[in-house]
Amino acid sequence: MKGIVFKELIALMEQVVGEELTEDIIEEANLDSGGSYSGVGTYDHSEILSLVTVLSEKTGKEASELVHAFGEHMVGVFKKAHGDFFSKPDTYSFLESVHSYIHVEVRKLYPEAELPAISCKNGGDGSFELHYYSNRPFADLAGGLIAGVIKHYGEKIDVKVSDIGPNGLRERTFFLKKG
C-alpha cells in the first residue's frame, strides 16, 4: 500500500486525537516501518490494521467505524490531488468510472499497485450495485469512499451492504438507492 495512504491516516489521527496520542498509538502498534512513511514508498497493509486496532482500543470506537471515516476523508484527499476524477455528473457515474478509468490511471502511476476488483450494475430506476473484492480486508474503507463520493455530489442515496463469504471485509456488495 502506498505511503501516501499511511501519511494521510497519521495526519487524520493527529487532527482528531492529537499528536501525543498518535505517537503513543504508533509506538504501541509496533510497526515494522516504525511509523515513518514516504509518500511514494510501499508498505504492508497490515500496518494500517495495526494502527486502527490500537486507535480503536484507545478511543473506544469500532475499528470498522474508524476505517469507514478514513475512507470518507480520503475522498477529499483524492479530490485535491486528482480533481479530474470528479468531473462525472453524479455518484453513479463516478462509481462506474472507478474500474474503467480511475484504476487505469492509478496503474499508470503505480504499476505494482494491488487494486481491488470492482464491478457495477446501474438498475436505471435509481438503484445501483457495486461489488467489491480485494485480497486485503478493506471493505469498510470502500464503504467510506462511497459515502464520501455521495457527500461530494450532494445526493441523497441510501446504502445497504451484504458481506459475501466468511470474510466480509474482503468481499462486499453495496446496494445504493436514490431517495
The answer to pTM > 0.75 is yes
For 19-34, what is each residue's pLDDT tens digit? 999 999 999 999 999 9
- Return the H-helix or E-strand segment holding 118: strand 117-122
The string of DSSP codes covering 5-49 is HHHHHHHHHHHHH-HHHHHHHHHHHT-TTTT---TT-B--THHHH
User: Is the model's pLDDT at 6 over the cut of 80?
Assistant: yes
For 101-160, what is each residue's pLDDT tens digit? 999 998 998 888 889 999 999 999 999 999 999 999 999 999 999 999 999 999 999 999
